[in-house]
Amino acid sequence: MNQCIQLPLISFATVSILMILSWIWAYRITNAGIVDIFWAFNFLIIAIVIWLLADGFEMRKNILCALAGLWSLRLGIYLLIRVGSHLDEEEGRYKQLREEWAPNANLKFFVFFQMQALSNVFLAIPFFIIAVNTASEISIIEYIGAGMWLLAIIGEGLSDWQLKKFKKNPANKGKVCEAGFWNYSRHPNYFFQLMIWISILVFALPSAYGWIAVVCPLAIGLLIFKVTGIPMTEEQSIRSKGDLYREYQRTTSAFIPLPKRK
């Protein structure tokens, strides 16, 4: 079977099974928020499938899988700690979905979990494209993409660490985080998340059909700006922090880290 078909099919079968198991766990503890943990770790699973089965140039494949695995592990462990600290209390956005989807919430969550598995494979399209590239020389564009990817992983990790450190301080309860990157952007984590997918696109461009990878930053950008990212996060922040957050909105950039407005 052509690897461009084989790799996505095997990847989806694997992460789909993992999402079924995670849905069973979510059903038992009434907390659909654990889907975020598994979604993040699924990219590590896909990277392992690629590393074991793809026939592309070994060094290129190793760089791809190392970066994908590093990003997946960092994000997955962060979410495991965050969500795992309150398994007995479902996050607000999932509570809202549970209410909206009643009385068939559990069945709809099953479909939702499977759609998350499908999104893993969809977003891994650049991984498959890069992994089957047999060219024995890595281009400067690929090295630039890999370097950008690593920097974006570090930036995303620092953003999450700064927010976590802020929230751990009891004196900050009810306040808005303005530490580090958060002093310049209301959503530095989303900024670096999008930069990761742009970096992967750059990495994929020298490979055959690498331009197809543009669908990933476009899809992630749509989610961040219009669907589950900034709109839902800011609505929840206004509900919980009110005028404090409205002032934060007035003085900071919504996305790109920029100096504060006066």
Domain boundaries in the chain? 1-138, 143-262
Cβ atoms of residues 39 and 75 within 8 Å:
no
Q: Does position 1 have pLDDT exceeding 70, yes or no? A: no
Given a contact cutoff of 8 angstroms between Cβ atoms, the answer to whether 119 and 193 are in contact is no
Kindly give the residue spans of alpha helices, DSSP state H, lying in the chain: 3-29, 35-53, 58-84, 92-101, 105-123, 125-131, 140-168, 188-204, 215-226, 230-241, 243-251
- pLDDT reported for residue 88: 85
The pLDDT score that the predictor gives to residue 25 is: 95
Distance, CA of 180 to CA of 186 (rounded, Å) = 11
Position 72 pLDDT exceeds 80: yes
Q: Are 46 and 200 in contact (CB under 8 A)?
A: no
> Between these two residues, 3 and 120, which has the higher pLDDT value?
120
| The pLDDT of residue 141 is above 80 | yes
- Pick from 49, 63, 47, 48: which is nearest to 9 by CA? 49
Please name the residue that has the structure tokens 């095997």.
10
In the prediction, which pLDDT does 86 show? 84
pLDDT exceeds cutoff 80 at 22: yes
Q: How confident is the model at residue 227 (pLDDT cuts 50, 70, 90)?
A: confident
Whether the Cβ atoms of residue 197 and residue 147 lie closer than 8 Å to each other = no
Q: Is 216 in contact with 123 (CB distance < 8 Å)?
A: yes
Which pLDDT band holds residue 129 (cuts at 50, 70, 90)? very high
